[in-house]
Structure 1
Amino acid sequence: MVRGKTEVRRIENAASRQVTFSKRRNGLLKKAYELSVLCDAEVALIVFSSRGKLWEFCSSSSIEKTMDRYLMQTKDVNTKHSAMTQEMKDLMSEATNMTKKIELIEAHKRKLLGETLETCSAAELHELGNQLEESLRQIRKRKQCLLAEQIAELREKEKSLLKENKLLHEKFKGGNMLRLNAAEVQSMEVNTQLMIGRPATL
């Protein structure tokens, strides 16, 4: 015969409730003991009856020791949780501040581009004008530096080309001299050949 499932709800009859409490309490204490032995676990069990009577089981030397360990463990967990919560709050606050800064920078950028100027006061417009003038000065200064660097590079390149041109010119002149000398020698050889021969008869 299959045993039916007991509906889990408060037993109204006091006698039946007390009998069920005794049986289930003993079974719970037994299971706690078996868990501590089989799994080498530290188990502490505290049960108060509806009348306030205490039953307890502890696998260690004392339930106070286990409770201290529990409190220490939960304290560490709560401390870590609090630290993580605080870190999350700090990150959220930093993200909010960064978002506000980005919005301010974007608004300032739009004003520098000449947009949304209708909301600006005379003082703000004057400040924007000063900032633009300073920016133009910096741009011109940077432009002059770049031009000066380019001019210096071109001058160095010009010197290098002039030097190379001079070397080529000297080389070219030396080549002509050699060719002229060779022509003169050849001419002398021809004259010599004409002079050596059978004397002409008169």
Structure 2
Amino acid sequence: MTRRKIQIKRIENLTTRQVTFSKRRRGLFKKAHELSTLCDAEIALIVFSNTGKLYEYASSSMMQVIERHYKHSGINKSDHSQDMQLDGEMYNNLREEVSEKTRELSHLGGGNLQGLTMQELQKLEELLKTSLTRVSKAKDARFTREISMHKTKRIQLMEENQRLREAQRLANEQGQPPAISFPICSSSVPPLSHNTSDNSLNLGLRLFK
């Protein structure tokens, strides 16, 4: 039985993706080791998983292979070190910003308030008031839209009821059943009169109740 050829695209299922990553990573490192042994090649592999975990393989020394890569690619080591330093500073700044935003979210949820000063508490109170006002406005706007939709639907039902009543009236006058019959909104139908002077009208209304 031949192996089924899979489509090369991102695996959506998390468990299947992790299992495939583990198997393929081991296979990749095995092939690198075989290539290094068979062909006396100097190989270095660096792999980061989607969770940020580092996996690496080197036939001799990872740093030696990287140094050779710098020399052959014309990369200035000092420039590279400076770039790495800038990246490290940016990473630290982003980490501090994330930590600060995490604390703010905790405060908004009512947690870790003991260490806040009076000014910080007042600022948090104003922020909560502003957020509450925005939520209230969004809720009111949603209610207004829903009320408008219900009014429009009610008008449409009333118009449909009127059309069906008119069709029933014409059918009664001609002594024929109506060509179409749909259930109508009972709220729009007036109560039956006890006056029996117009039997055809009463009969038509009873048919549509």
Could you state the TM-score of these two structures normalised by the residue count of structure 1? Answer: 0.47
Could you state the TM-score of these two structures normalised by the residue count of structure 2? Answer: 0.46
Q: By percentage of residues, which structure has more helix?
A: 1
Higher relative contact order (CA 8 A, sep 6+): 2
